[in-house]
Structure 1
């Protein structure tokens, strides 16, 4: 049987690779915000696009194998070969992660390596397309057949993604205990003994509890200032911290409800957002109603928060990813509009 008759046309393969990478990049970024079961489809789509790419990449490499022979390599072809190697490595590390693999790279791990390799693909691909771009119009001649083949590929990708869960369960791998976000469980119900991670560069010195103050400012009738002893700690909530580093951890958090702080300050009618600011300058905003349901935690599983986990106060925002759970909070600022600069602050605050 000649399997080549079932492969998409060369141009369709090229555009299929491009579409797969585009979906992988888009959904990969979107997974940073998938904190609720209703958004789990983003992770599923990311995985299905990965399976499609796994199927198409060998077809592409087989067709160009003669062009990348050592005696025919040029600078441009070497660059394209680098793209193929990086894409294959990103796929391999993703599959390895799904089936329970791990890798110790100091402060980083296998999941970080997968993300790093994946983020390297788009610039390499754009540089490759500069020399190898072809109009989609050249695909139309075999469009119907290619459409059917791609529908089959996507269906196969969905089936493979579904089956991997059963394989992981049968083999009882570390990959079997994954949340719908793809994260693995670490340190649940163990107090401060869960991973300490910081987004990008945040790494402040320990906060002096005597000097620290929490302020509630902005669109409020009465600004408030609290010492650590003034902060009430009577509100508890069970919530899962799901980190974009690839792990999740469930705990009982205790502290003060943000809604109580806002009520005490008497929020202005024009208020729409609540921003939580760290001693490092890191900050993140939640819509007013969502903020009212959040918690500023002083304790985790009955233990006072450690410095690494945000002492003296850490935002607990159920249903949101870990990078939004601001540590070392010193200000709650009520605003009418969201500050666009906070998107930059989360990347450079620690610097």
Structure 2
């Protein structure tokens, strides 16, 4: 018996695919920024459901594709459509591989790197593919039938994501042990086992810093590295956007102790600057929870992990944990007056 495909497919199918792709892209970007477990779990769940929800529209999209192949070649633009389809498949497959624990690397490339790279290319090609097409949202899309279809798609996508997570936990697959952000554990309690990674715009400095310059209220004080280990300790999770996390006990000095006695503005921030020029701005209100660490798990930091001193910022993703810190500068400006992600 031949498989019967749905007959009614067209504008709403394409709009549904477009919505899911944009939602997956937006939540994927947001997942890089959110480090606290609760919000991260919600963002990652929506991201995964949006990606898997694309599979639900494949039967309808097949009808659209078959219909398009009857059009003149100049109208249907097969090259762009096929390239976009390949990129979407690669994005979904690599994302599922990372989720189930098949993270790699293979030939130096991880599943997450393939996922992110393919996703970026997908969104670029998607913009080219939809440009000039007149399949837009209409007021009729708010009618009861259309809203019920949208709700069914959302529930189906959530069920797919929930089913995958359930299977991982029932089978005890490596992916079941992912953190809320989707990161896999690497080197907890063993700093030497942590991967050596940094933000793609940053690099290992040629000369390690010998001290940290603290600037506040017109004063400038240089604190030698030897004076930065004051016995303050915090157990925190370094959750890297590269897809891994590690929990360590970090030791050094809290920022509020280092800034004690200085003229600090109300509502101000502190710029944490690396020897490479890499900078992140954090609120002074968080100073009691931030640490300049010189060691992890009782072992001095290695050069790749930020020696001699790095910032520990609990609840924030890895790109906030500035390595090779050379300068702390208190500024009378909100912490959010900066790019969401490092540009330098």
Q: Give me the TM-score of the superposition, normalised by structure 1.
A: 0.89
1:25 maps to: 25
Report Cα offsets for 1:183-235 as digits up to 9, x if no partner. 111110013321110101322235346xx2201114x3643211112223310
Higher mean C-alpha deviation, range 147-156 or range 267-276: 267-276
Unaligned runs of 5+ in 1: none
How far apart, in 2, do the equivalents of 1:299 and 1:99 lie?
Answer: 33
Query: 1-side partners of 2:65 and 2:233: how far apart?
Result: 60
The number of residues matched between the two structures is 341
Deviation at 1:343, TM superposition (A): 3.1
- Could you say if the C-alpha distance between residues 305 and 127 of structure 1 is closer, same or farther in structure 2, counting changes exceeding 3 Å? same
Where in structure 2 are the equivalents of 1:244-323 lying within 5 Å? 244-264=241-261, 266-270=262-266, 272-323=268-319
Partner of 1:234: 231
SS of equivalent to 1:252:
strand
For residues 319 and 141 of structure 1, the distance between their equivalents in structure 2, rounded to whole angstroms, comes to 40
From 207, 222, 227, give the equivalent of 1:225: 222
Distance 1:323 1:269 in 2: 26
- Secondary structure class of the residue paired with 2:236: strand
- Of stretches 51-60 and 321-330 in structure 1, the one that deviates more from structure 2 is 51-60
CA RMSD of aligned residues (A): 2.6
Give, in angstroms, the shift of residue 78 of structure 1.
Answer: 1.0
Aligned to 2:240: 243
- Counterpart of 1:168 in structure 2 is 168
Q: Give 1:1-351 correspondences, 5 Å limit.
A: 4=6, 9-39=9-39, 40-65=41-66, 67-68=68-69, 72=73, 76-137=77-138, 140=140, 143-208=143-208, 212-218=210-216, 220=217, 222-264=219-261, 266-270=262-266, 272-338=268-334, 343=339, 346-348=342-344
Is the contact made by 2:308 and 2:324 (CA closer than 8 Å) also made in structure 1? yes
TM-score (norm 2): 0.90
Residues 97 and 111 of structure 1 are in contact (CA less than 8 Å); yes or no, is this contact kept in structure 2? Answer: yes
Quick one: structure 1 residues 143 and 86, their matched pair in 2 at CA, closer, same or farther if it must change by over 3 Å? farther
In structure 2, the CA distance between the partners of 1:254 and 1:303, relative to structure 1 (3 Å rule), is: same
In 1, Cα distance between equivalents of 2:76 and 2:156: 36
**Alpha-carbon distance, 1:291 to partner:** 3.0
